[in-house]
Amino acid sequence: MTSPRAVLWDMDGTLIDSEPYWIAAETDLVESYGGSWSAEQGYELIGNALPVSAKLLQAAGVKMEIPEIVDHLTAAVMDRIVTSGVPFRPGARELLFDLRQAGIPTAMVTMSMRRLAKTVIERIDFPAFDLLIGGDDVEHPKPHPEPYLTAARTLGVDIADAIALEDSTAGVTSAVASGAVTIGATNIIDISGLGADAVWNGLDGRTVGDLTELFRRVRTS
């Protein structure tokens, strides 16, 4: 196989620039309980499963149960998406559109809740994904490989024939462990040295040809 049979997309930070929305929601929640929350603390949560992040917010003083925290943050970010639109990362929408035009199957594989991911997908102005795997669809979240393995299996492709696009430590670790050809699309945090087959400075200007060339190089080396 010298061309990818599917491209599997992370959402937050890879497809859309939603990390500022999450950090704002976390900050507001912690401050409502008299605590403080910095951007740096928010960066540490990037790519985590939401229940994991909720535990850290409890440690920062939020006196809510984990499911309540997850629901609160999800609702806050959904509200921003609804009111402000989908904040695509540079080049991400264009690459996704080109993949669809080329007939290459795509899946969204995110640790955000399914309802939030659906809110994003419903606001993309073309049929963007064949499949959605949300954080509440898997037993083992990223950095476990289950989310990516589940996506490939559901699409009916071998994970070795898929490309995964990621921007976080947990996400890259998950994708690499799954066996997908993994591209780190750097956004906020350093994802070098995690085993990705390539680390790009985001997706701006990247094409289907770039993905295919990398896939061919990795699989034929």
Which of 62, 84, 106 is at the close of a domain?
Answer: 84
Domain check: are 49 and 126 in the same one?
no
Domain check: are 152 and 98 in the same one?
yes
Element (H, E) at 52: helix 50-59
Secondary structure E strands in 25-150: 106-109, 131-133
Domain check: are 191 and 94 in the same one?
yes
Domain check: are 24 and 13 in the same one?
no
> What is the pLDDT, as a whole number, of residue 64?
97
Domain check: are 34 and 53 in the same one?
yes
> What is the pLDDT, as a whole number, of residue 147?
98
Look up residue 102 and give its two tokens. 């080329």
What backbone phi and psi angles, to 5 degrees, belong to 9? -105, 130
> What is the pLDDT, as a whole number, of residue 1?
64
Domain check: are 180 and 214 in the same one?
yes
Q: In this structure, is residue 58 part of a structural domain?
A: yes
Q: How many helices (H) and strands (E) does the chain have?
A: 9, 6
Domain check: are 74 and 94 in the same one?
no
Q: Are 208 and 99 in contact (CB under 8 A)?
A: yes
Domain check: are 11 and 43 in the same one?
no
Domain check: are 115 and 206 in the same one?
yes
How many other β-carbons are positioned within 10 Å of the β-carbon of residue 82?
12
- Give how many domains the chain has, as a whole number: 2
| Helix, strand or coil, per DSSP, at residue 211 | helix
Q: d(Cα 23, Cα 40) in Å, to the nearest integer?
A: 9
Distance of CA 210 to the CA centre of its chain: 20
Domain range holding 166? 6-17+87-220
Look up residue 176 and give its two tokens. 């690499």
Which of 68, 84, 100 is at the close of a domain?
Answer: 84
Q: d(Cα 62, Cα 31) in Å, to the nearest integer?
A: 9
CB under 8 Å to 65, separation ≥6 — which residues?
Answer: none
User: In the chain, which residues have pLDDT < 70?
Assistant: 1
**Residues 46, 135, 182, 205, CA torsion sign:** negative
Q: In this structure, is residue 195 part of a structural domain?
A: yes
DSSP 8-state secondary structure symbol assigned to residue 89: P
40-99 pLDDT, tens digit each: 898 888 888 899 999 999 999 999 999 999 999 999 999 999 999 999 999 999 999 999
Domain check: are 11 and 113 in the same one?
yes
> What is the pLDDT, as a whole number, of residue 46?
86
- Residue 128 pairs in a beta bridge with none
Domain check: are 61 and 124 in the same one?
no
CA trace torsion 14, 20, 25, 31 (10° rounding): 140
What CATH number is given to the structural domain containing 42? 1.10.150.240
Domain check: are 62 and 92 in the same one?
no
Q: In this structure, is residue 1 part of a structural domain?
A: no
What CATH number is given to the structural domain containing 161? 3.40.50.1000
Which of 84, 115, 137 is at the close of a domain?
Answer: 84
